[in-house]
Amino acid sequence: MLLASPVIFAQIWRFVAPGLYHHEKKALFPFIVLSSFCFLGGAFFGYALVFPPAFKFLVGYSNEYLSAMPAVNEYFSLSIRLLISFGLVFELPVFMVFLARLGVIDAPFLKRNRKYAVLISFIIAAILTPTPDVVNQVLMGGPLVVLYEVSIIAVKIFGRPSSRAVPAAEGD
């Protein structure tokens, strides 16, 4: 799935393309590249930084009476869930820019709702992390908050220009 992510995102964007205007279709290629890059970066982040503590937490139940003997399918299940979860979570900036280009959200809206985003980030982290420990939830919630801040900057730069121009005062 990781190696196929560029093809998967290309197919998703090609599915969306018939409903877009010509000038919006030009943005498809950058979205495909950025989606693939963000997904693979998120999967790498999950594998390199989150997987070791998660596996350590699961193996941490062993003692002199219990020995941890994880089966291969449990190991793969944990790793696949982490890789896909983090890959999807790292798509947040791309998704926010896409919504901004459609005119659904803008940077001031994201700034106003920052406190709700932090709360929702940690709720999502609690749901998506395969282990119930706080460390792994923080390791997912923290990047979600950072990605939300990156989304605000990206929406400000790449979002739809605001149509609300400030009218000039009369007599100036």
Q: Are 85 and 128 in contact (CB under 8 A)?
A: yes
Q: What is the reported pLDDT for 66?
A: 67
What is the residue-level pLDDT of the chain in tens, covering all 172 positions? 777 877 887 788 778 778 877 777 776 778 778 888 888 899 898 888 888 877 777 777 666 776 766 677 877 887 888 888 888 889 999 999 888 888 889 999 999 999 999 999 999 888 877 667 788 788 888 999 999 999 999 999 887 776 554 444 444 4
Torsion angle of the four alpha carbons 82, 50, 42, 4, in this order, in degrees rounded to the nearest 10: -40
**Region at 129 (left for phi over 0; alpha for psi -120 to 50; beta for the rest):** beta
- Would you tell me how many other CB atoms lie within 10 Å of the CB of residue 122? 16
pLDDT of residue 172: 44
Residue-level pLDDT at 167: 45
**Distance between alpha carbon 135 and the CA centroid of its chain, in Å?**
19
92 token code pair: 């947040």
Residue type, 101: R
Closest by CA to 154, choosing from 89, 93, 87, is 93
Give the domain ranges of the chain. 5-62+69-158
pLDDT of residue 163: 53
In this structure, are residues 61 and 68 in contact, taking their beta carbons and an 8 Å threshold?
yes
Distance CA 97, CA 95 (A): 6
Distance set, CA 1 to CA 83, 87, 93, 104, 129 (Å): 10, 11, 21, 30, 19
> Residues 96, 100, 106, CA angle at the centre, nearest 5°?
100
